[in-house]
Amino acid sequence: MHIRLLKHTPEPDRLVALAARRCYSSLPAERIDEKIGEKEVDRLLEMLRLRNHLSPFEHVSFTFSLDGVSRALSHQLVRHRIASYSQESQRYVEYNKLEQLPYVVPPSIQANPEATGLFQSATEHALKAYRGLLALGIPPEDARYVFPNAVETKLIFTLNARSLFNFFEQRCCQKAQWEIRHLAFKMLDVCREVAPRVFHTAGAPCGYERPYCREGDPACPRFPKSAAPPGQGSGRVAGEG
């Protein structure tokens, strides 16, 4: 998996603070901007989180390039609707010249030699069938139906910070599927590098100051001792809004 932050809104922490202050001031934006010091940025962002006033976080966007993930992952990713996606097309990109189908092998399969053998033969068989179908004049958009979920894909996608809070809340959870969880932690790392204050509390809600478990699973090793469900005094500070 290779994830890269291609672009982001400049000065994201500061822009969210400015948008927050806009709500409570009659001054022109330029004057507000002049008056906001570093401490004020911290105070405003914290206030937004505590009040669940999350719309100012929508002004800052993050565009990622993602390669080497499975279609099983991308299917989960694109369920996040408050986002924009461009994905490598299996209609226009042909795989018939490849030696081997590019695919992702789950760690549970990698750890088991017999399972690895079965997995490899299934992917080899899929590529052989794909080539056979193309040779019969079947178009790539139909031949691709033989591909497994493991087949690799590439995307460019954009989310705003509020939508990213929701994504991190769901996908940084210990119970999220391993590949998308791995992606979520990598994305959170790069987001924190460029917008540390915006993403200060982002992640699974069991990691917050006043945590709860969104899965309600006491069997999870990270299940918070004092967990209360959302809306019942959990002190939830960021998330689905």
Ligand X SMILES: Cc1cc2nc3c(=O)[nH]c(=O)nc-3n(C[C@H](O)[C@H](O)[C@H](O)COP(=O)(O)OP(=O)(O)OC[C@H]3O[C@@H](n4cnc5c(N)ncnc54)[C@H](O)[C@@H]3O)c2cc1C
Which amino acids are annotated catalytic? 171
Between 162 and 197, whose beta carbon lies closer to ligand X? 162
Closest residue to ligand X, Cβ-based?
Answer: 81
Phi-psi label, residue 4: left if phi above 0, alpha if psi -120 to 50, beta otherwise = beta
Instruction: Map residue 70 onto helix, strand or coil.
Output: strand
Between 126 and 238, whose beta carbon lies closer to ligand X? 238
Those residues with Cβ within 8 angstroms of residue 36's Cβ, 6 or more apart along the chain or in another chain: 14, 17, 18, 21, 44
Tell me the closest approach of the beta carbon of residue 211 to ligand X, in angstroms: 17
Residues 136 to 195 in contact with ligand X, rule: CB under 6 A: 163, 166, 170, 176
Based on the shown chain and the rule CB under 6 A, indicate whether residue 74 belongs to the binding site for ligand X.
Answer: no
H-type alpha helices, the chain: 12-23, 29-35, 38-51, 71-77, 107-110, 113-135, 140-143, 161-171, 178-194
Based on the shown chain and the rule CB under 6 A, indicate whether residue 79 belongs to the binding site for ligand X.
Answer: yes
Between 50 and 78, whose beta carbon lies closer to ligand X? 78
Instruction: Please tell me the number of Cα atoms within 13 Å of 89 on its side-chain side.
Output: 7
Based on the shown chain and the rule CB under 6 A, indicate whether residue 219 belongs to the binding site for ligand X.
Answer: no
- Which residues would be at the binding site for ligand X (CB under 6 A)? 79-82, 163, 166, 170, 176, 240
